[in-house]
Amino acid sequence: MKSVYFDNAATTQLRPEIIEKMTQVMHQNYGNASSTHSFGRATKALIEQARKAVAKYFNVTASEIIFTAGGTEADNLALTSAVRDLSVKRIITSKIEHHAVFNTVLQLKKQYGISVDYVNLDGTGQIDHLHLKQLLQSSNGKTLVSLMHVNNEVGNILDLKRVGQLCEDHQALFHSDTVQSVGHYIIDLQDIPLDFMAVSAHKFHGPKGVGFAFVRKKSGLKPLIFGGEQERGLRAGTESVHNIIGMAEALKLSYFNLDEEKFYIQNLKEYFIERLKTEIEGVKFNGTSSDFEKSAYTVLNVCLPFSPEKESILLFQLDLKGIACSKGSACQSGSPKGSHVLSQILNNEDLEKPSLRFSFSKYNTKDEIDYVIEVLKEFI
């Protein structure tokens, strides 16, 4: 049986170079970075070198990069501290955000009594910029806008600079979950007025369990996890040095190979779209996922013309054939609820049909796409 992995939006395969680098660090640099002896100093130096390396890709200072255990922690750090410590009384977000943002905002509303407004979406899930402007103009208290850069289910791309400028014009803070875009798109934070950003290494061929938050200097953000003075006092706990070094190396390789890999992956996605159109009559593409200007080149969300009865067994059948893809976000697998993203943009008829997310990386091939097409045709 073939083994085909098309679930790279959930997590990516580690590059061999990263495994080698991390193994070397675990063997040689096991000192605690908070220790003052030579073992600790050597480890601390590695961490700070990694911080500087990460910062340069976003045109920010090293002090604005806070290492975390992943994107969810980075999102929670920014959102919770903004409400708890920065006097934010209102959050503007959307109903298709990742649950790391969506559920955190609901919890903050419950815990702190903040007001929450959801920006309107069009039929493809793109935000209504005019409505966002109107929401910002109607604000009476300090406001934070939280909108993701690339949607993890349908791949819609947000115009970060345009939204950031709107926020700046109305004295609102701007937070973005960039988990699906970092490593795949250039983000210049001197050009984009963004206050907080969340990143996770395992989305760009780095290790799981590590990420970082970008925190604009002098923002006044306070820690979410208390203890020691690690990470400029914003994130207590002994640093996971091998993960941090692995993440920095993965980011370096992602951006070094960006043009070549983007071209390759984009061609794969285009090939998949054409094969689906040719071989499966009635196929649709959710959101803007078939639009290369408005959607990430790494994600394709497909609505298949199968009966609702077949939806429950489709993923199971694909798995039996060795094909890994996703019904929605990996974070909601096992949930009886459908996709909260698709529920906002599909009509009732299409919601009854099976939708699958295929997400690509440099390790995928056209032969794998051909195999998936044949399996889907067989399923029909």
The whole-angstrom separation of Cα 328 and Cα 301 is 9
Please state, in angstroms and rounded to a whole number, the distance separating the CA atoms of residues 239 and 32. 8
Q: Are residues 270 and 363 located together in one domain of the fold?
A: yes
CA 126, CA 300: separation in Å to the nearest integer? Answer: 16
Quote the number of domains for the chain: 2
CB 77 within 8 A of CB 231: no
- We report the CATH number of the domain holding residue 277 as 3.90.1150.10
Q: Check residue 27 and give its pLDDT.
A: 96
Domain membership of residue 36 (yes or no) is yes
Q: What is the pTM of this model?
A: 0.95
Could you tell me if 267 and 219 lie in one domain? no
Of 256, 287, 319, the residue at which a domain comes to its end is 256
Q: Do 151 and 205 fall into the same domain? A: yes
Same domain for 238 and 287? no
The pLDDT value recorded for residue 140 is: 78
186 with 331, same domain: the answer is no
In a domain? residue 280: yes
**Alpha carbon distance 379, 145 (integer Å):** 43
Do 41 and 127 belong to one domain?
yes
Contact 155, 295 (CB under 8 A): yes
Token reading at 108: 């903050």
Find out whether 217 and 63 touch, Cβ atoms under 8 Å: yes
C-alpha angle 323-324-327 in degrees, rounded to nearest 5: 120
* Residue 232 located in a structural domain: yes
Does some domain include residue 62? Answer: yes
Residue 271 in any domain: the answer is yes
Please give the residue range of the domain that contains residue 342: 4-12+258-375
The pLDDT of residue 337: 66
Does residue 108 fall inside a structural domain?
yes
Same domain (yes/no): 128, 226 = yes
How distant, in Å, are the alpha carbons of 31, 92, 298, 355 from that of 66? 20, 24, 26, 37
Q: Which residues are part of the catalytic machinery? A: 331
Residues 61, 204: one domain?
A: yes
In angstroms, rounded to a whole number, what is the distance separating the alpha carbons of residues 250 and 182?
11
Mapping DSSP onto H, E and C, the string for 336-357 reads CCCCCCHHHHCCHHHHCCCEEE
Which helix or strand (DSSP H or E) is residue 174 part of? strand 173-177
Last residue of a domain, one of 211, 241, 256: 256
Dist. CA 306–CA 355, nearest whole Å: 10
**What is the domain-level CATH number for residue 64?**
3.40.640.10
275 in the same domain as 210: no
**What is the reported pLDDT for 139?**
76
Positions in the chain whose pLDDT score sits under 70: 328-337
- Whether residue 380 lies inside any domain: the answer is no
Do 293 and 190 share a domain, yes or no?
no
CA distances from 15 to 128, 141, 352 (A): 38, 46, 38
Angle between the N-to-C axes of helices 99-112 and 71-85, in degrees from 0 to 180, rounded to the nearest 10: 30
Distance CA 194, CA 188 (A): 10
113 shares its domain with 143: yes
Whether 160 is in a domain gets the answer yes
Measure the CA–CA gap between 254 and 40, rounded to whole angstroms: 29
With beta carbons less than 8 A apart as the criterion, state whether 323 and 4 touch.
yes
Scored b (16 or more CB within 10 A) or e, 308-324 reads eeebeebbeebeebebb
- Taking the C-alpha atoms of residue 152 and residue 342, their distance in angstroms, rounded to an integer, is 12
Domain end, chosen from 256, 276, 309, is at 256
- Within this chain, do residues 182 and 278 fall inside the same structural domain, yes or no? no
* Per-residue pLDDT, 330: 47
Residue 357 contacts residue 326 (beta carbons within 8 Å): yes
CA dihedral over 61, 63, 64, 69, signed as positive or negative: positive
